Amino acid sequence: MTDTAVVGFLLVDKPSGITSHTVVARVRKALGTRRVGHGGTLDPMATGLLIVGVGRATRLLGYVAGQTKQYTATIRLGSATFTDDAEGELVGETVSSTHLSTEEISLAMTAYLGTIQQVPSSVSAIKVDGKRSYARLRAGEEVELKSREVCIDQFSLLTRRDESPWVDVDVVVDCSSGTYIRALARDLGRDLGVGGHLTALRRTRIGGFTLDLSCDLDSVGVGSLITMGQMAPHIAPVVEVSETQLRDIAVGRKLPVTLETKLASMMYDNELVALYEPDEFDLDVARPVAVFIDSPMALLDLPSTESTNSDTRPSSFCEDAPPASYCEAAPPPSYCEAAPPPSFCGAERLAESRLASSATAESGPCDFAQGDGEGCAGTPPPSLLEDAVPPSPCADTLSPSPCADTLSPSPCAQSQGPSVTGAHSG
């Protein structure tokens, strides 16, 4: 693989009082890398599971964020707020809700099971004409968000507590990505005629990952990372590929395989190498969605005749062709080394003495420490050396190095194929 930086996923238990972006910033600092992102925003009030991607793994966060999610939450019935949660100002009057029976509340909750149309909270991060909805509200603008389809598999009442004039109900929600739990609290209170808002939220599951697998933000480290290969089965069904297929994947080719699902995780030697989907024109062919390797040589352990050295080239490929003598003995070693006359360095020392006597001289004209080791890097102006130093035959009279300029671009470099490329469940 070409990306040698820290790569993988972190399951973080986000504490209350900080944004999801703050979690990202702290992970960047802890792991010493800038390429960090998260999959699925949690509002500052909310706690629980936040999946953070690091390095190349950030390319998979969109697939991670699309997984189903589970939350536990507390809904306060009896008052509504501007933000649909406890952080917003009260809207309207508080209405006593203690007269509501547990059965009435549970029955009202069943209306939200299945596929529904939900209007997100107006203070969400959804963009309206390129600007966040909450930013428009803060600027005093009226915001009306369109409803969106979400799916709720479970919306169950766990416990009830009467806190006159309010009733607090603890609930559990299993839902699709994009579901706003604040909106559920708002709509439930509206349906019961008393108003409602969210007072607590904790995300307990994303896809197949549960909160008990997470780590505290303070203990984040490289040892906490989940590899892309470990994450792959949670994104799409796994398909094992052969060495030949791996070579095709590396250059973004389609594969003659029939996929039974809309997306597949292509695996080789326990590593996720690509995501593929069925070709829309030929279902017996799969096409790449994302490729995570640049060359199969980075993964294959081939025999010595095909194996690679540290720079992914066969040992004889660039060392013996062109012949060793081509670069090593042409021009002859004496050509550049002996070309300057014996007096050359003596003349430079003479020039140095002239410079040393000058009040404006700052360094010797033949200060090898300043150059690249070929001749005099610090050659003084011609006025100082014109009588003493003949022009360097290596610098002025030689044709360009045949090794540097006349060879075609490295076939090793060309052999590598291109890489293909809020309180809500977000």
Contact 275, 421 (CB under 8 A): no
Q: Is 195 in a helix, a strand, or coil?
A: coil
Alpha carbons 21 and 30: distance in angstroms, whole number: 14
Contact 57, 9 (CB under 8 A): yes
Contact 259, 286 (CB under 8 A): yes
Contact 255, 229 (CB under 8 A): no
Running DSSP on this structure, what letter comes out for residue 42? B
Contact 88, 146 (CB under 8 A): no
Alpha carbons 331 and 336: distance in angstroms, whole number: 8
Q: Is 10 in a helix, a strand, or coil?
A: strand
Specify whether 43 is catalytic. Answer: yes
Contact 265, 272 (CB under 8 A): yes
How many contiguous H segments (helices) and E segments (strands) does the chain have? 14, 18
Identity at 83, one-letter amino acid code: T
Single out the catalytic residue among 43, 85, 248, 294. 43
**Which of the residues are catalytic?**
43
